[in-house]
Structure 1
Amino acid sequence: MIQQPEIQAILCPLCRAANRPYARFCQQCGKDVLLDDTYRITQVIKEGGMGIVYQAVDADGAFYAIKEMHDRFTDAREREEGIQRFLEEAQLLRQLRGHPGIPQIYRSFIDEGRYYLAMEFVWGEDLEELLKRHGAFPEAQVLIWADELCDVLEHLHANGLIYRDMKPSNVMITHEGHVKVVDFGIAKLLQPGQRGTMIGTPGYSPPEQYQGITTVQSDIYALAATLHHLLTGRDPRNEPPFSFPPVRMLRPAISPQTEAALQRALALEVEKRFGSVAEFRRALPIPSGEQRPMPPVDVRPPAQPVPTQTFDPPPNARPAAPRAKAAPKPRAGRQYRQAWPVPPPQPLPTRAQQRRPAPAPRPRRTHRPARALRRIVAVVLLALGLYYGFQIYGTQIVSLIEQYLPALNQPLPDGGQPGGDADGAPATAQTRIITVVAPHRAAGPDRTNGARCHQEAVHASAGSLAPGVRCIVVLTHQPPGNGA
């Protein structure tokens, strides 16, 4: 039984930042982390030129493989073709539903303008990863896988489809040792004599596929190239094109029957290959019955999900229910190639810390009352200073004015005379200055007497002024203690 990993983090489908398992919105970009309001991404499994595959989980804890189409097209026509291939893959998988060697498709959907497929999650590894770790495989093991791969290709051809992309990275080996063929993105309907898009994987694709021609023999060639790689460990992508030396030259222990079948399937001319996958299958010495060995390959358990960063949970998030027993100690699982950098792991807060309410924010202190009070005090002090300054230095100010005012009484340009004397005598000048001495205005009666003196001086001189003559009345106050 497969031990499913415990979910410790979910990834944002847009920025791929790690979030808490119960988060609804990404703490990094603020986007909704639920795909189609159902799936939560737990890790990146594999990324290729045409798409990326995630591991995801739903609310019931079931795992899925979510495939996303890469939308990196710059040309509108290429984008339409890419979307069409993606939708055709979903339709093909629905048509092929029920075969044990093909993952089951559950649904296709669009989220945030991106195209997704929700498929059966295969617990295992692909043959390319196993080749990197183990190297070449025993002949008996490779022939068992070849038998199951032939069964898948026969099912495709019976439904009028050509796979067009057989290679080790598209073949998953489950924990039970069986094969699952994945990535049907470039599979197409069988249309003999018609040319299509030049698409495939260099090293595994036959020569005619580079000319846009695909037939049943094209899949046979790619399958033979894959088996050659598994038996010899020789990667055809690193060798000259279409060069496959006999397997017994590299591994003499391989049976001559297997070598002959592969050499015929790898012929450059389409007519020299097998006419069908069933014919190629019969040419291989596939073991049966007791001679069929159990899978000796140690397929590693699935990788643990990407650890999460420590983020503050959203207000509407609910913590997960506590488990009855401690989580099992994680074993060393398969380390998938990460297509995106992930943050380093950080310790998670305890349940008590998660449930503890956040402290209330401290009120912001304002200094407006004190600032207004300081302004009022400054204005009052300025007014008092002006008032008492005038009280003390008022006499000196008036004296200075009296010293400069006689300059106005100078002869005018028309030959007029000075404008009067200090006692207020009439004069014939154009400007007349009248000086009135009043008592000190410290008391109320004195202020009245000063005003009355000023009024009397004005009336006394008003009758003696000629038309056009200016009259300036200077009212001075008698300092205290002066008996004059």
Structure 2
Amino acid sequence: MDTSKLIGGRFRVKDRPVSGAMGDVWPAEDTRLGRTVALKFLARKRLRHQGAPTEFTDWTVKKFEWESVAMARVSHAHVAQIYDTGEHEGELYIVMEYIQGKSLAGHLREGPALPLERTVRWTQEICEGLDAAHSREVIHHDIKPDNIMITHEGKVKIVDFGLASFADATQSHTGVGTALYKAPERWCGSAGSVSSDLYSVGCVLYEMLTRRPPFGSPQDDFMTVGRMHQDNLPAPPSAHRPGVPDQIDHIVRILLAKDPGERPQSAEAVVRAMSDIQHSLGFDDLSTALGRTDLSDATESNAGHSDRIRELDQRIFELELRFGPYGQAVIETRMEHAELTGQSGDTRGAAALYNRLGRDCQEYFGPYDTRVLNAFEGVARWIARSGAK
């Protein structure tokens, strides 16, 4: 494709594309409005040259057109915005919001485990975006870490509505979706629904907590993973990551219920649940204190700390079994864990860990105990460091 010409009479390609199996995404300048956009091209000619069956190529064209209509229906801060569509040299394209950041999948592959505060907050934002889509009768069908972008400011953007269907339409898409995140009923021929999107959210939340999907791995056979979704019960996240609170184990269990009727009835209900968890764990007060999230915390974190952080997670669990949750060795290790989290670059996560420790000690020892004061000093110190970045 010749990118030396203005595309659509206004878009000038700025850099090399990010290429996928069925298309490419190019950063481009909108010369009329003076902003950077993303041009998502369907590589229809490439598919034909590679020998793709005509039926498959026709389906990808419909899928591509479907994506533009679906995204145009939804306007929300946590859903990537679509601006326009067009055709250039026989190739279809969508003009989309340009997102500076990286996918949730990238965050899960790199650096230490996500702090609980960030996991809860991102899950809430995913569901806020989904609730906006569902309210417009748009079902995503392919919620997974690769389709969730995290901006440099630390905000969620849901992308790739290419498999989306409208709840008021007859098109089912029963055969599509990503195996690791696909709801049990969809393996049995169901068209999918709000509930199946929420099951996928449960899979993503599980992976954010444990660094593994609830069933299978990318190397497993497609149908083997499908049988796991239909027949197996996952271990609670706390079994893989000691310290995950009961409230989070509970919401994961409900989201991953085999029967769609036993899952939350709406994405809004999950938003409320995650908000309650933020409040109960003290994360909402922390968010107010920190203000806007700067994701330089996450993107600059030192992955070299990750092994030690995981060791401390396990150490805290073992010490609590021996000495109880308020033993001095437990408190000292929790402080070390919070401190190392901050040193890894995750200042927000460090403040969240200190904040929870301070609240726990306050409840048990009283508000003026030295351990309480030391924990809240840690909160203030890491909040200050976050603001200085």
2:71 — aligned with what?
93
In the TM superposition, 1:271-350 aligns within 5 A as 271-284=261-274, 285-287=277-279, 289-292=284-287, 294=290, 295=293, 297-298=295-296, 300=299
**Cα distance 1:78–1:212, how it changes in 2: closer, same or farther (>3 A)?**
farther
Q: CA deviation at 1:282?
A: 3.2
Tell me by how many angstroms 1:41 deviates.
2.2
Aligned partner of 1:214 among 184, 192, 195 = 192
8 Å contact 1:125–1:300 — kept in the other structure?
A: no
Choose from 259, 268, 273 the match for 2:258: 268
Q: What's the secondary structure of 2:13's corresponding residue? A: strand
Q: Deviations over 1:57-97 (max 9, x none)?
A: 23365211110113115333333322222112112222213
CA RMSD of aligned residues (A): 2.5
Distance 2:161 2:194 in 1: 16
Cα distance between partner residues in 2 of 1:266 and 1:300: 30
Specify the SS of the correspondent of 1:115: strand
Question: Would you say 1:237 and 2:217 are equivalent positions?
Answer: yes
Q: Is the 8 A contact 1:205 1:222 kept in 2?
A: yes
Post-superposition offset of 1:135 = 4.1
Task: Quickly say closer, same or farther: Cα 1:206–1:45, change in 2 above 3 A.
Answer: farther
Q: Secondary structure of 1:68's match? A: strand
Equivalent residue in structure 2 for 1:77, among 55, 59, 63: 55
Conserved in 1, the CA contact under 8 Å of 2:152 and 2:295? no
State the Cα deviation string for residues 410-446 of structure 1 (Å, max 9, x = none).
Answer: xxxxxxxxxxxxxxxxxxxxxxxxxxxxxxxxxxxxx
Distance (Å, rounded) in 1 between the aligned partners of 2:273 and 2:131: 15
Matching residue within 113, 135, 143 for 1:158: 135
Q: Which amino acid counterpart does residue 187 of structure 1 have in structure 2?
A: A
SS of match in other structure, 2:12: strand
Judge conservation of contact 1:68–1:115 (CA < 8 Å) in 2: yes
Query: Which residue matches 1:36?
Result: 8
Q: 1:280 to 1:104 in 2, by over 3 A?
A: closer
Q: Distance in 2 between matches of 1:90 and 1:194?
A: 16
Closer/same/farther in 2, CA of residues 215 and 134 from structure 1, 3 Å limit: same
How far 1:183 sits from its partner (Å)? Answer: 0.8
* 1:188 lines up with 2:165 in the alignment: yes
Taking the aligned partners of 1:291 and 1:32, their CA distance within structure 2 comes to: 49
Distance 1:87 1:195, change over 3 A: closer
Q: Is the contact made by 1:52 and 1:69 (CA closer than 8 Å) also made in structure 2?
A: yes
Partner SS, residue 242 of structure 2: coil
Aligned to 1:65: 38
**Structure 1 residue aligned with 2:363:** none
Number of paired residues? 272
CA shift for structure 1 position 39: 2.0
Asked if structure 1 preserves the Cα contact closer than 8 Å seen for 2:202 and 2:256, the reply is: yes
Judge conservation of contact 1:40–1:56 (CA < 8 Å) in 2: yes
Aligned to 1:147: 124
What is the alpha-carbon distance in structure 1 between the residues aligned to residue 112 and residue 258 of structure 2?
27
AA paired with 1:222?
S
1:247 to 227, 237, 242: 237
| In structure 2, distance between residues paired with 1:264 and 1:202 | 20
Whether the 8 Å contact between 1:170 and 1:183 is mirrored in structure 2 is yes
Please identify runs of 4+ aligned residues in structure 1 that moved more than 6 A: none
* 1:308-352 Cα shifts (integer Å, max 9, x gaps): xxxxxxxxxxxxxxxxxxxxxxxxxxxxxxxxxxxxxxxxxxxxx
Paired residues of 1:140 and 1:292 also in contact (CA < 8 A): no
- Counterpart contact for 1:202–1:237, Cα < 8 Å: no
Secondary structure (helix, strand or coil) at the match of 2:102 reads strand
Distance 2:149 2:72 in 1: 19
SS of residue matched to 1:49: coil
Structure 1 distance, partners of 2:169, 2:7, is 40
Tell which structure's C-alpha radius of gyration is larger: 1
Checking the alignment, whether the CA contact within 8 Å between 2:138 and 2:165 is kept in structure 1 is yes
Deviation at 1:290, TM superposition (A): 1.5
Name 1:109's counterpart in structure 2: 86
Shift of 1:34: 2.9
Tell me the SS of whatever aligns to 1:77: helix
Q: Provide, for residues 200-241 of structure 1, a one-character-per-residue CA deviation record: whole Å limited to 9, x for no partner.
A: 111011122232420111011101111111111114534662
Check conservation: 1:124, 1:173, Cα contact below 8 A: yes
Contact persistence 1:203–1:237 (CA under 8 A) = yes
Percent identity between matched residues is 28
Q: How many angstroms does 1:190 deviate by?
A: 1.3
In the alignment, residue 38 of structure 2 is paired with which amino acid?
A
Asked if 2 retains the 8 angstrom alpha-carbon contact of 1:171 and 1:180, the reply is: yes
- Structure-1 separation of matches of 2:9 and 2:57: 26
Structure 1 alignment gaps of length 5 or more? 1-13, 15-25, 302-484
Give, in whole Å, the separation in 1 of the partners of 2:163 and 2:258.
Answer: 22
CA distance in 1, matches of 2:256, 2:91: 39
User: How far off is 1:177 after superposition?
Assistant: 1.3
Structure 1 residues 94 and 35: alpha-carbon distance in aligned structure 2, compared to 1, 3 A threshold: same
Q: Deviations over 1:134-157 (max 9, x none)?
A: 242011111111111111111111
Q: CA deviation at 1:254?
A: 0.7
| C-alpha spacing 1:141/1:197, structure 2 compared with 1 (3 Å) | same
TM-score for both structures, normalised by structure 2 = 0.64
2:220 equivalent to 1:225: no
CA distance in 2, matches of 1:45, 1:171: 19
- Answer with 238-247 or 200-209: which moved more: 238-247
